[in-house]
Amino acid sequence: MIRWFYGSGGEGKRVLALLSCLLLWGCGERTEDVRDEVVSFSQTSRIRGLDPAVSGEVSSSMAISKIYEGLLQYDYLARPYEVIPLLAEAMPTVSEDGLVYTFRLRRGIYFQDDACFEGGKGRELTAEDFVYSIKRVADVKNSSSGFWAFNNRIVGLNEFHDRSKEPAATDYDAEVAGLRALDRYMLRIELTEPYPQLLYILTMHYSYAVPREAVEWYGRQFVNHPVGTGPYRLVKWRRNSRIEFERNPKWAETGRVELYPTEARGNEVDPKLLEDGGKQLPFIDRIVQYVIDDSTTSWMMFLSGQLGVSAISRDNWDAVITPDKALTDELGEKEIKLVSSPTLNLFYMGFNWDDPVLGEGATEAQRLQNRKLRQALSCAFDFEQLNAFMNQRLHPIGGPIPQPLTGSLSEASPYSFNLEQAEALLAEAGYPGGIDPATGRRLEITIELGSASGNARQMMELMADMFRKINVVLKPSFNTWPAFIEKMNRRQAQLFQLGWVADYPDAENFLQLFYSKNESPGPNHSNYRNEAFDRLYEQIRTMPISDERTALVEEMAAIIVEDCPWIFLYQPMQFGLVQQWVKNYVPHAFPYGMGKYRGVDVRERAKWVGENGSGGLDMGGAF
């Protein structure tokens, strides 16, 4: 349920608007020879905290995953996305009924040195650390943004969750039957029902190993004092301005071996990406990241060589990319590379099922009319217009499941752009010519937005004009992010715009957005209710991946398309520019913890800055 939002606001991560997705590219690198180190300078958005159990938004997750690690991780190069062991010695053994997962941990994994440990020396990681860390996510007092991942999944964990609601300090020694350390290196997880997505969940930072000593030592300050096993440790963090990591010396001290992958399964990659195969990670000694809010500033910094990777904002687009989606000659000559990849994100306009006009409707006749109205509005949405406005950076989507997940619709939805159909449906819905019989004027719909940025505003003006063509007035209401969330949770929106970023590469992650028990304040912000759909959802949730399951998923997608609780807007493409000195750069839909694979060619970079840089902009030595 990672919901990813515009900027870094919000209690989760909900994509709201368009350019924000490009912040994921914020692993841009810029290097400089300082004390003979390989230093990378890059961009990040605002980081809220570094506690794996609590923090939620993309920028925090990116920082956390540099310091902490989990049992499993995504393979950097393999496609489709594949889960491989990280702190686990191998993939878990799973019982016949799919309920019991047994992990064997790697030996000789140590936490970084920290004052919280005895003698200041980091101790070895044990299975007990994972038991403790997952309990922390379930502890109400931590108000974790990640409890959804384990909710009703692990035997006894919900009882622990309920007990932690009491005012007394939570007892972490209390047994959770489904979460046990069998010995120092064996972890046993017992589920309440089969949950094949558990493996994906265990790659997320909510499942990362946190040492109990650190939590107890730092108390409320733990969020500022991360203590992990990962490739980097925190040096200094200045909120909303700058964060610095350095190579975790514990790896060299304890002789930990972590190697760059030697193959890219199912993925044809540039052979250059495999050149470092089998080499010890990480490649970069020091990572310095700045919060740069203004896209023009970061663009200028990229051009002058201060950032190695840059997003391409909408306004830079035509200066950078030619109409056939290649780089302009000027940038091409400078050997800047263009990288693009589809994202597992979906943007939509949701109707509130409680709304008398656009929602479910009280009577059978009303239901039919309302559905026709939703379908009409869906037909009025002109994807090509929006795509032109967004410089052709979008991928059309006709159903609730983005490509390339199984179950995504192969053909266009019957309610994609068609003005005649829209007008016909509108008349059938009881609004001939768009005129609302109740007022005698054009039908007026209010859309709630969680951002008032120029881009969001212009996009709404464009949308309003699409609806104007069928004589429906779209009134935008711009909110601050918290006010927007408040309206959603109180079910006050009539229509709203949101996005969803996949937590894991499975259709279930998107279908849950229509499950009636997930209604607001859960992720089903449309408050969509449909018994047939609910039954199917409950069925597929526990099924292992199979053709039978895919058939059910397709059936569910068809129900959603017909019922139109959302207008499916688009699936964004990710485009980024990478300087030639950045090595091993591959876009990944789940980029957490991938920094360790990246490298930088310090000499190349110095040359570039010498030729293109301007000393005045250099932030390398600032602060």
Partner 1 sequence: MSGRVRESKGLWADAWLRLKQDRLAMVCLGLVVLFTILGLYGEAVHQYHAWNDLTPHYQQTDLASAYQAPSWGHWMGTDGLGRDVMARLVQGVRIAFKVGIITSLIAIPIGVMLGCLAGFFGGRVDDFIVWFYSTVASMPGLLFILAIAMVVPDRGLLGVYLGIGLTTWVGLCRLVRAEVMKHKEQPYVQAARALGIGPGRIMFKHILPNIFHIVIVTFTLRFPAAVGTEVIMSYLGIGVQDEPSWGIMIDAARMRLWQGMWWEMTFVTVALFLLVLAFNLLGDALRDALDPRLSE
CA pair distance 376, 370, nearest whole angstrom: 10
Q: What are phi and psi of 318, to 5 degrees?
A: -75, -10
Q: Closest distance between partner 1 and the C-beta of residue 314, in Å?
A: 8
Helix orientation angle between 364-380 and 454-468, rounded to the nearest 10 degrees: 110
When asked if residue 100 is in the footprint of partner 1 (CB under 8 A), the reply is no
In Å, the largest CA–CA distance within the chain is 79
Count H helices and E strands in the chain, helices first.
18, 21
Q: Which of 259, 319, 326, 365 binds partner 1 (CB under 8 A)?
A: 319
Q: Which of 340, 458, 489, 546 binds partner 1 (CB under 8 A)?
A: 458
Q: Which of 476, 572, 591, 613 binds partner 1 (CB under 8 A)?
A: 476
Nearer to partner 1, 224 or 296 (CB): 296
Q: Which of 123, 180, 395, 468 binds partner 1 (CB under 8 A)?
A: 468
Q: Closest distance between partner 1 and the C-beta of residue 303, in Å?
A: 11
Could you write out the three-class secondary structure of 593-605? CHHHHCEECHHHH
- 381: Cβ contacts below 8 Å, ≥ 6 apart: 349, 416, 417, 463, 466, 567, 569
When asked if residue 457 is in the footprint of partner 1 (CB under 8 A), the reply is yes
Q: Which of 89, 461, 562, 611 binds partner 1 (CB under 8 A)?
A: 461
Nearer to partner 1, 473 or 558 (CB): 473
Q: Closest distance between partner 1 and the C-beta of residue 614, in Å?
A: 15
Nearer to partner 1, 158 or 494 (CB): 494
| Helix, strand, coil abundance in the chain, percent, nearest 5 | 35, 20, 45
139 neighbors 152 (Cβ within 8 angstroms): no
Q: Which of 107, 165, 265, 441 binds partner 1 (CB under 8 A)?
A: 441
Q: Helical H runs in 277-397?
A: 295-303, 317-320, 329-333, 364-380, 383-389
Q: Closest distance between partner 1 and the C-beta of residue 488, in Å?
A: 16
Q: Which part of the chain contacts partner 1 (CB under 8 A), choosing from 52-60, 348-356, 408-416, 449-457?
A: 449-457
Nearer to partner 1, 112 or 471 (CB): 471
Residues 40-79 that bind partner 1 (CB under 8 A): none
- Measured CA to CA in angstroms, residue 430 lies from 106, 352, 487 at distances of 65, 19, 28
Q: What are phi and psi of 356, to 5 degrees?
A: -65, -30
Q: Which part of the chain contacts partner 1 (CB under 8 A), choosing from 36-44, 98-106, 469-477, 528-536?
A: 469-477
Q: Which part of the chain contacts partner 1 (CB under 8 A), choosing from 206-214, 252-260, 474-482, 533-541?
A: 474-482
When asked if residue 460 is in the footprint of partner 1 (CB under 8 A), the reply is yes
Number of residues that bind partner 1 (CB under 8 A): 30
Nearer to partner 1, 165 or 475 (CB): 475
When asked if residue 580 is in the footprint of partner 1 (CB under 8 A), the reply is no
CA pair distance 106, 126, nearest whole angstrom: 9
Q: Which part of the chain contacts partner 1 (CB under 8 A), choosing from 71-79, 208-216, 313-321, 346-354?
A: 313-321
Q: Closest distance between partner 1 and the C-beta of residue 196, in Å?
A: 44
Nearer to partner 1, 352 or 455 (CB): 455
Q: What is the DSSP letter of 190?
A: E
Q: Which of 37, 128, 258, 315 binds partner 1 (CB under 8 A)?
A: 315
281 forms bridges with which residues in the sheet?
A: none
Count of CA atoms in the C-beta half-sphere (13 A) of 505: 18
Q: Which of 89, 171, 318, 330 binds partner 1 (CB under 8 A)?
A: 318
CA pair distance 304, 296, nearest whole angstrom: 12
When asked if residue 453 is in the footprint of partner 1 (CB under 8 A), the reply is yes
Structure tokens of 479?
């909110």
Q: Nearest CA to 69 among 602, 594, 603?
A: 594
Q: What are phi and psi of 605, to 5 degrees?
A: -65, -45
Nearer to partner 1, 34 or 464 (CB): 464
Q: Which part of the chain contacts partner 1 (CB under 8 A), choosing from 400-408, 423-431, 451-459, 503-511?
A: 451-459
CA pair distance 261, 606, nearest whole angstrom: 28
- Measured CA to CA in angstroms, residue 8 lies from 4, 137, 238, 502, 503 at distances of 8, 21, 16, 17, 17
Residue 544 preceded by cis peptide, ω within 30: no
CA pair distance 284, 30, nearest whole angstrom: 11
Annotate each residue in 479-498 with x if it binds partner 1 (CB under 8 A) or - if it does not, as one string: xx------------------
Annotate each residue in 368-407 with x if it binds partner 1 (CB under 8 A) or - if it does not, as one string: -----------------x--xx------------------
Nearer to partner 1, 157 or 459 (CB): 459
Residues 266-305 that bind partner 1 (CB under 8 A): 295-296
521 neighbors 488 (Cβ within 8 angstroms): yes
Residues 103-162 that bind partner 1 (CB under 8 A): none
Nearer to partner 1, 479 or 579 (CB): 479
Q: Closest distance between partner 1 and the C-beta of residue 445, in Å?
A: 13
Nearer to partner 1, 276 or 355 (CB): 355
The 10 Å Cβ neighbour count of residue 243 is 23
Structure tokens of 597?
């694979």
Query: Which amino acid is it at 351?
Result: F
Q: Closest distance between partner 1 and the C-beta of residue 436, in Å?
A: 10
Q: Closest distance between partner 1 and the C-beta of residue 313, in Å?
A: 8
Binding site for partner 1 (CB under 8 A): 295-296, 313-315, 318-319, 385, 388-389, 441-442, 452-454, 457-458, 460-462, 464-465, 468, 473, 475-480
